[in-house]
Structure 1
């Protein structure tokens, strides 16, 4: 480097009080997070005193993990950059500037995309669950959550939280998010199906408006819509009419039976299930996947159907699979899929099973079992 190339400007860097900038942290960002900031979108740090902190954008959730830098970094917020220093060729003397307030950094935070932490949704909303109009005066307002309060307490991006609320049958009532209780949902869906049978409608000829008018004194419209759209879909040829989803309706009615009796002799349960569904609906054993398991009870010498809902399993994939293989040694792909589908951000169930389980073939059918236990 030649003397003529210098800008005759020196900066003297020193730190006065390290604690002055103790709030400054380095955070690693991928292209998505960086683009969010460049587009003036907000990022949020979320987590309670006993939680691991996460960072969320509008539609993604990231774990934060502290890591060491390869070299010690000295950070100065007011340092002059080369392009901002003008050169005065007529001046021989060098200029000097003292810059204070630096911070030594040995660590930074890695950001790793992860699944949103949604397990708290039900525990937060269940104390104020909607159980029917007759119970509304008993609701303590302390347990009511509007959108802002809910999003502050759930470690999830807004879009992921909104999607989860649709899976948990959550209705907005007077501005508050209320999970519909299982018991009330069972009553409401039964009444909707009764309206269909009373009018002798086919499964694909259900009139939503007439159904609601028949029940509006018993079911608030927002609650009705949540339940109706969960179990019915509009017809392609006539948007004013709807079709009840045979599989979804049968599965929920099976859950009602299982709630009353978690362990059942196979044939007795199947007979009761067939009798409990509307005419022209036909339950199938595979509809139980994700809500119950079928096992042979050697002590009783009988085949049993046992309640085993996916919602009761741990959020961690290793712990979840441990629970699955604990209750049943071997699973077919059809049996295990509802318990791990979309888990950990993966839509490919085969990828998860290849990574966390081992396969074997029994009578020509592939089964999956624990990778580490015989």
Structure 2
């Protein structure tokens, strides 16, 4: 066996100058198979836990303490010759990457001042432009701990309107103008829908096209719009439901309002299942109908401890099928969701099925 001389580098910096990162199999495979430019970014502010983002996924970066130290060594010569091994650093931990949900909660904060509401048009014209600081897509990309694909999906799901490189939040009124025009939902004319909106409501064609893509598919030539009926009906239902956050409404009354809002064409597509994770049901001593109240998952804290605290303050007991939709956005997959329930809730079974209550601390 050859013998080498081990020595510490006289130019080495403080211990901990190097970091050792363990790649999960999917990320390792992605790196090995990449033939072009591969972008990896570590994101996080001074008060954040750092995450690593690929173009599609987000990973938590967490430190794992090693029972044995690992030495970072290098030969003393650039060509690797010689019989000396130089110790550059000693590592007592490695960085582990764990898939996580994107940290998109700041998106609502960034866009809070940019939410458009019916009835505030005059205020927007007189004061909005001067007071509001525009938010760019690049700024959102830099501040949010999420991959490009996850951010793009969030912008679509939250109906963020992007114009001239800036983002705005638009609500349901524009959609209501679209569905009020009589067009075949599987091949609606983009021109016939967008032109009246531009002429009568000063809604630019590019705005209409973005909204159409939120609720369906527009062909490559921007001629025909194939409406996603489920998404359209759900959005209208959320608009009706949002009016009943502090004012519960009987289920039959709510369904009547929802059906009237979407019109006869789409009334057959309304179903409370579309609004799962956005409402609570409760019985009422004053009427036989179930009472519904607006309770959106998006309004809950993203921290698991705070999330479960809010849920159990709202209800001391939750049916399994009712609580799961309120955890899906903070769990990577079903296994992660089961871990959250096991850690923060206690399972009980009775004649009515599986229930969850707060775990005693």
Which TM-score applies when normalising by structure 1?
0.74
Go from structure 1 to structure 2 and tell me whether the alpha carbon gap of 1:180 and 1:68 turns closer, same or farther (over 3 Å shift). same
Go from structure 1 to structure 2 and tell me whether the alpha carbon gap of 1:336 and 1:230 turns closer, same or farther (over 3 Å shift). farther
Q: Which residue of the partner structure matches residue 160 of structure 1?
A: 150
Aligned length: 340
Which of the numbers 42, 47, 67 marks the counterpart of 1:50?
A: 47
Give the C-alpha shift of residue 105 in structure 1.
1.8
Q: Which residue of the partner structure matches residue 92 of structure 1?
A: none
Alignment of 1:279 onto 2:225? no
| RMSD, aligned CA | 3.8
Give the C-alpha shift of residue 264 in structure 1.
2.6
Alignment of 1:14 onto 2:8? yes
Go from structure 1 to structure 2 and tell me whether the alpha carbon gap of 1:359 and 1:286 turns closer, same or farther (over 3 Å shift). farther
Q: Which residue of the partner structure matches residue 31 of structure 1?
A: 25
Mapped partners of 2:168, 2:334: distance in 1: 26
Q: Which residue of the partner structure matches residue 57 of structure 2?
A: 60
Mapped partners of 1:222, 1:359: distance in 2: 52
Q: Which residue of the partner structure matches residue 169 of structure 1?
A: 159
Which runs of no fewer than 5 residues in structure 2 stay unpaired?
none
Verify the 8 A CA contact 1:29 1:111 in the aligned structure 2: yes
Q: Which residue of the partner structure matches residue 269 of structure 1?
A: 254
Which of the numbers 95, 100, 103 marks the counterpart of 1:114?
A: 100
**CA offsets, 1:261-306, max 9 Å, x none?**
4223304434433433312332334344222122124599974211
Query: For 2:22, what is the secondary structure of its paired residue?
Result: coil
Query: For 2:207, what is the secondary structure of its paired residue?
Result: helix
Mapped partners of 1:162, 1:241: distance in 2: 21
Rg comparison, structure with higher value: 1
Mapped partners of 1:130, 1:272: distance in 2: 23
Q: Which residue of the partner structure matches residue 138 of structure 1?
A: 129
**CA offsets, 1:79-125, max 9 Å, x none?**
579x955xxxxxxxxx75584x6222222212212111111122123
Mapped partners of 1:205, 1:273: distance in 2: 24
Verify the 8 A CA contact 2:16 2:90 in the aligned structure 1: no
Alignment of 1:123 onto 2:109? yes
Mapped partners of 2:233, 2:242: distance in 1: 14
Verify the 8 A CA contact 1:172 1:222 in the aligned structure 2: no
Q: Which residue of the partner structure matches residue 332 of structure 2?
A: 345
Alignment of 1:369 onto 2:348? no
Verify the 8 A CA contact 2:12 2:88 in the aligned structure 1: yes
| Alignment of structure 1 residues 62-81 onto 2, 5 Å | 62-79=59-76
Give the C-alpha shift of residue 155 in structure 1.
0.9
Q: Which residue of the partner structure matches residue 259 of structure 1?
A: 242
**CA offsets, 1:50-94, max 9 Å, x none?**
11111122222111111222212232344579x955xxxxxxxxx
Mapped partners of 2:16, 2:144: distance in 1: 28
Q: Which residue of the partner structure matches residue 231 of structure 2?
A: 248
Go from structure 1 to structure 2 and tell me whether the alpha carbon gap of 1:359 and 1:22 turns closer, same or farther (over 3 Å shift). closer
Query: For 1:76, what is the secondary structure of its paired residue?
Result: strand
Alignment of 1:313 onto 2:300? yes
**CA offsets, 1:236-264, max 9 Å, x none?**
xxx9363461x434433333233334223
Which runs of no fewer than 5 residues in structure 1 stay unpaired?
86-94
Mapped partners of 1:280, 1:159: distance in 2: 34
Go from structure 1 to structure 2 and tell me whether the alpha carbon gap of 1:324 and 1:80 turns closer, same or farther (over 3 Å shift). same
